[in-house]
């Protein structure tokens, strides 16, 4: 009888030595460099984010999603305007042109009306719409602050792994990062034929995901779908399309999907750590494919990873318009800041 190899598993990387500034920083950076190239996905533990605070936010989120549809609709994204914030119901978001079987809340950097970007009408900038639940606002904003710090540290490790230096990405792309945060609820009753989210890649730089114990995330590695189960105390980190382009294909922006077959609701909280809205995009000199396999590969959508230009804001707005076409009119006809 022929023996079949077990499917590969995503690596679990202890980030504590890098966070502490210890002598093992190069080792951690090398692990991340390999995982980002081979899988485009990996777990991190030892990240110093307070797990009690995370679980409180998960509990608050469950309370919100259990509310009746009329109550949730009070925060509908159509009320968020150009800031692209608020609630959407099941089927209200598209992935690759198909409605997702999930509902969610969208958040971003909290900006006052007096902020210059808000006054100028720059899309994706403004105030959030928070559920009227005690502690929800503070829990979201504190969480975003913590994950912004973690995002900077991860990009420092990536810069070190690429032999660019710890501050390369901060100096060139993420000094004032675009930060987008989502809380999703996947209702029970889905199947493999009707995934909660279909196959897709993330369009930004780096995604930091906290998922509950239900699981359901799957990542494609070569021709195999790998399950990404819940690992206590971990974040799932994945590379987005923009980092794949900036590294000329060295890093992998991997296809992934969600299939919630558990019969239970699933909470997922992805935080997107992306370049400055006004950052000028160009491939990083001296960085290229780590292996011959990545040197001549073709993306699932046929797009050239070597093509990168313009600003991140322009790129992002084009992506957003495809996810929520009904709201895309809010982003038209704006004058970028000088």
32-58, pLDDT tens digit by residue? 999 999 999 999 999 999 999 999 999
Average pLDDT over residues 295-319: 75
Q: 258 - beta bridge partners?
A: 197, 217
Residue 21 has what pLDDT? 83
Q: Which of 86, 58, 85 is nearest to 72 (CA)?
A: 86
Residue 320 has what pLDDT? 78
pLDDT at 183 exceeding the cut of 50? yes
Average pLDDT over residues 258-281: 93
Range of weakest confidence among 3-12, 124-133, 173-182, 184-193: 184-193
236 with 218: CB under 8 angstroms? no
pLDDT at 297 exceeding the cut of 70? no
Map the chain to HEC letters. CCCCCCCCCCCEEECHHHHCCCCCHHHHHHHHHHHHHHCCEEEEECCCCCHHHHHHHHHHHHHHHCCCHHHHHCCEHHHCHHHCCEEECCCCCEECCEECCCEEEEEECECCCCCHHHHCCCCCCECCCCCCCCCHHHHHHHHHHHHHHHHHHHHHHHHHHCCCCCCHHHHHHHCCCEEEEEEEEECCCCECCECCEEEECCCCCEEEEEECCCCCEEEEECCEEEECCCCCCCEEEEECHHHHHHCCCCCCCCCEEECCCCCCCEEEEEEEEECCCCCECCCCCCCCCCCHHHHCCCCCCCCCCCCCCCEHHHHHHHHHHHHCHHHHHHHCCCCCCC
Considering only residues 216 and 13, tell me which one the structure prediction assigns the higher pLDDT: 13
Q: What is the mean pLDDT of the chain?
A: 88
Q: Residue 60: which pLDDT band, with cuts at 50, 70 and 90? A: very high
Structure tokens at 74: 């009070």
Structure tokens at 129: 């719409």
How far apart CA 319 and CA 274 sit, in angstroms, is 13
Considering only residues 82 and 181, tell me which one the structure prediction assigns the higher pLDDT: 181
Structure tokens at 146: 């913590």
Residue 300 has what pLDDT? 58
Residue 292 has what pLDDT? 45
Q: Residue 316: which pLDDT band, with cuts at 50, 70 and 90? A: very high
Q: 199 - beta bridge partners?
A: none
Residue 1 has what pLDDT? 46
| Tens of pLDDT, residues 321-338 | 766 666 555 554 443 433
How far apart CA 195 and CA 80 sit, in angstroms, is 28
How far apart CA 37 and CA 22 sit, in angstroms, is 24
Average pLDDT over residues 112-121: 93
269 with 182: CB under 8 angstroms? yes
Q: Residue 227: which pLDDT band, with cuts at 50, 70 and 90? A: very high
Residue 330 has what pLDDT? 57
pLDDT at 164 exceeding the cut of 70? yes
Average pLDDT over residues 200-205: 93
Average pLDDT over residues 215-234: 94
Residue 259 has what pLDDT? 85
Considering only residues 283 and 288, tell me which one the structure prediction assigns the higher pLDDT: 283
Pairing label, strands 86-88, 41-45: unpaired
pLDDT at 304 exceeding the cut of 70? no
Average pLDDT over residues 248-264: 90
How far apart CA 138 and CA 57 sit, in angstroms, is 10
Q: Sign of dihedral through CA atoms 133, 63, 182, 237?
A: positive
Q: Residue 295: which pLDDT band, with cuts at 50, 70 and 90? A: very low
pLDDT at 232 exceeding the cut of 70? yes
Over pLDDT 90: what percentage of the chain? 69
Residue 241 has what pLDDT? 95
Residue 35: partners with Cβ closer than 8 Å, 6 or more residues away: 10, 11, 13, 41, 42
- What is the pTM (predicted TM-score) of this model? 0.90
Q: Residue 19: which pLDDT band, with cuts at 50, 70 and 90? A: confident
b/e per residue, 92-126, with b = 16+ CB within 10 A? Answer: bbebeeeebbbbbbbbbbbbeeeeebbeebbbbbb
Domains in the chain (CATH in brackets) are 12-331 (2.60.120.330)
Residue 324 has what pLDDT? 65
For residue 176, the tally of other CB atoms under 10 A from its CB is: 13
Sheet containing strand 197-200, strands side by side? 197-200, 256-258, 217-221, 224-227
Pairing label, strands 98-99, 103-108: unpaired
Q: Residue 7: which pLDDT band, with cuts at 50, 70 and 90? A: confident
The position carrying tokens 């995002």 is: 151
Average pLDDT over residues 72-87: 93
Structure tokens at 273: 């750590």
């Amino acid at each position: 009888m022929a023996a079949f190899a077990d499917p590969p598993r995503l690596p679990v990387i202890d980030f504590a030595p890098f966070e502490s500034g210890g002598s093992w920083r190069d080792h951690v950076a090398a692990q991340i460099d390999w995982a980002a190239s081979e899988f485009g996905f990996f777990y991190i533990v030892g990240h110093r984010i307070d797990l009690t605070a995370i679980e409180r936010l998960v509990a608050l989120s469950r309370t919100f999603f259990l509310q009746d549809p009329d109550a949730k609709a009070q925060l509908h994204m159509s009320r968020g305007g150009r800031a692209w914030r608020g609630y959407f119901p099941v089927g209200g978001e598209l992935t690759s042109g198909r409605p997702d079987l999930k509902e969610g809340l969208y958040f971003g950097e909290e900006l006052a009306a007096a902020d210059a970007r808000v006054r100028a009408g720059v899309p994706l900038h403004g105030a959030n719409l928070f559920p009227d639940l005690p502690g929800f606002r503070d829990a979201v904003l504190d969480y975003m602050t913590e994950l912004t710090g973690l995002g900077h540290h991860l990009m420092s490790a990536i810069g070190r792994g690429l032999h660019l230096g710890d501050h390369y990405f901060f100096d060139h792309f993420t000094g004032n990062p675009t930060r987008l945060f989502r809380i999703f609820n996947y209702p029970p009753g889905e199947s493999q034929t009707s995934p909660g989210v279909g196959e897709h890649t993330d369009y930004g730089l780096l995604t930091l995901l906290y998922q509950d114990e239900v699981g359901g995330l799957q990542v494609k590695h070569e021709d195999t779908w790998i399950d990404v189960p819940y690992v206590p105390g971990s974040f799932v980190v994945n590379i987005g399309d923009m980092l794949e382009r900036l590294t000329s294909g060295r890093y992998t922006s991997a296809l992934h999907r969600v299939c919630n077959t558990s019969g239970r609701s699933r909470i997922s909280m992805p935080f997107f750590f992306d370049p400055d809205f006004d950052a000028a995009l160009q491939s990083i000199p001296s960085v290229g494919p780590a292996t011959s396999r990545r040197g001549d590969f073709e993306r699932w959508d046929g797009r050239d990873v070597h093509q990168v230009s313009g600003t991140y804001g322009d790129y992002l707005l084009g992506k957003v318009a495809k996810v929520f076409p009904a709201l895309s009119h809010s982003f038209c006809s704006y004058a970028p800041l000088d």
